Structure 1
């Protein structure tokens, strides 16, 4: 897809490098739509359970959804344009800004990612057992930490590798706001926080048994994110001169 070369690649909803392999760009649309729908469904379920009125539930879900979308666009927008919506992709094709093959690949990724995101949210919130210590609850909470940690690492490294490092803190904050609402484990997503929570009191306190479950789940989520980032942001090999030294880089 070379058509978009004539557009400013730093404009929203156009990829930075249209020459990047279509598989990688469509994968970014798949991942972004998956996490977006996960937050939409998960935050809707949890806020409806906990909020005192439907209006409050709607407001909480809306804040979580908007935060997730902002973070995902900041992290993955340079790869694919950050559509996560077939209407954007279709209208770009209709306006001659995207070819048919790219359009179909994007839309396929969006639909498949969205469906899997909804199914994943259903798996996380399919029953109220996550509030107990049943075996099913342990599986659900472990899966929740995998999802939360994976999303967080995608935003951290996606913003860094997209050249939008300055947006990283805002994207991370947006994701955590969303994931705390949209995952049953409340998104610890940080081994240091998880271990510290075993010494804490109050709502964030964790029993040692749950902490032991969360730690490997967080590592697993981070490794999944590492693979996703490797697909979306392939490393470009650089040649370092044989006589390069740390001192010479400052000359």
Structure 2
């Protein structure tokens, strides 16, 4: 998620002549989760996201004892990806971490559109909750087989199209942690929001699906 999604923002969207732009970055995040879900979903379930892991637990689809190991692996992967992205981006003479960053998330002065904390928090809670509804619905035994990664990837693309101007889109605490740890400063100071809001949203989404939708399957 960090190398594919944030990488598209840092390495490609920085050059308007390449044509990737805002929509291209959104699509890159969606394509990342789509392709990786097909690649390793059969191995691990293809979470890539602490909020998804917590949401699936809240939705009764994941064992509590596996939550911490999964979250640890996701955060480690995000940090390693951010380091790799930094190593590549810093190879350009006119690039600097302070000026260009690694597509970290933020609110207030660190929000792409200048959105306040309350807007950022609400957007992250709602969109992460919706993301869990998409994941749980598309992976339900009664859903069309084999198409879940497509729905999930397109869902994440839509989420980014909505919220990049607000927070640069997290809905994934690991994705937020990797760039923030490398950037430091305000990105690191505001990181708590991008743990709290997605985890709340993920848990709410999983719980809502479990209690209001799955209960009425029959």
The interval holding the TM-score normalised by the smaller chain is 0.3 to 0.5
| Larger-gyration structure (1/2) | 1
Q: TM-score, normalised by structure 2?
A: 0.47
- Greater RCO structure (CA 8 Å; 6+ sep): 2
Q: TM-score, normalised by structure 1?
A: 0.41
